[in-house]
Amino acid sequence: MDYMTQALSLARLALGQVSPNPAVGAVVVRDGEVVGQGYTQPPGSGHAEVVALQQAGDAARGSVMYVTLEPCCHHGRTPPCTEAIIDAGVSDVHMAMLDPNPLVSGKGAEALRKRSISTYVGEHEDEAREIIEAYIKYITTGVPFVTVKFAMSLDGKIATRSGDSRWISSSGSRRCVHSLRYITDAIMVGVNTVLADDPQLTSRCGDRGGKTGKQPLRVIVDSLGRTPVTAHIFSEPGETLLALGRPVNPGVAKALAQTGAELVELPAEDGFVDLGELLRMLGRREITSVLVEGGGTLLGSLFDHRLVDKVVAFVSPVVIGGAEAVTAVGGRGIEKMADAIRLESVTTQTCDDDVIVIGYVGG
């Protein structure tokens, strides 16, 4: 049995519930039998290694641990996992990758080796990195990982010339979007999307499906304060943040504040909120991941300023046509094809009749 693959499966169960901590899975094996397993619990609760060791009990002595990320060696909300591993008497630790957190970054593995615990690094590292890609960006830069998601027709349109966009993608693809929302810290849209679609921007799957479930933070980029106080988004469970340009009309600000949303005024250039500053502000709030769902103006500005890390595009086999029909990405764009943003590590999958294209923006 590939125990690291099992640990990776456990790590995925933690996605959406443990931010700003990384989603980690751990498996404890003794004499070829799994005696303990676990994954990261919500902040302040047990890390994957501790959960697995608690399940293993005395059987952990002389065992081998498989963990998707290097065990921590510093005091945070919980004690170091390295101490728990040493105290339990584990003999070998296989870790998929070292922790990019400067507080750890090899120090956890070294602490184990100093106590004569054999360590091995690199099994299924690529899969482990993908699971915690948002954590890696956040912990090394202080800025959240930005994924842009859009659904478009085969000819690149996200709405007809009249603005109708329901529904370009299939019902299966829309369920996939709710899964993306489930694992992200914040959902971001521009004010034009709110005006055109009046979206809910909630995750309706898993533990986040009900009125009491945890919801991602909703962020509306609204330079001029045009969001209507009657917008559906204000009556949904969870928190909403309005990123406004500076200064905002006091009367408008007062009316928006009465919706219960948090208002943040940010520098604006040429009528557009400084998106770099917005992302840095979200990072200071321990938002590690942002899913941007439109519209074309916001997506275009993010691409123009090279603030996008990942793209998830749902392509539906329909042709809309029309020179006035809206495209997925606006902004200034590029003048020469040589300057086009090319995705890397591209994968594709199908959902109903849609094709989902997933890729990363290179440096």
Contact 249, 256 (CB under 8 A): no
CA 206 to each of CA 33, 183, 219: distance values in angstroms, whole numbers, following the listed order? 31, 10, 21
How many CA atoms lie within 13 Å of 241's alpha carbon, on the beta-carbon side?
Answer: 21
Helix axes 48-56, 3-14, angle to 10 degrees: 120
Mark out the alpha helices in 41-163 (DSSP H runs).
48-56, 81-88, 107-114, 125-131, 133-141
- The active-site residue out of 49, 70, 123, 133 is 49
Rounded CA-CA distance 7/201 in Å is 31
Q: Are β-strands 217-222 and 240-245 bridged in parallel, bridged antiparallel, or unpaired?
A: parallel
Rounded CA-CA distance 325/159 in Å is 6
Answer yes or no: 125 catalytic.
no
Count of other CB atoms within 10 angstroms of residue 77? 9
- Select from 296, 79, 276 the least CA-distant residue to 191: 296
Contact 100, 59 (CB under 8 A): no
Q: How many Å from the N-terminal Cα to the C-terminal Cα in the chain?
A: 37
Based on the number of CB atoms within 10 Å of its own CB, is 33 exposed (0-12), middle (13-18) or buried (19 or more)? exposed
SS3 category, 355: strand
Rounded CA-CA distance 105/114 in Å is 16
Rounded CA-CA distance 307/58 in Å is 49
Residues with catalytic annotation?
49
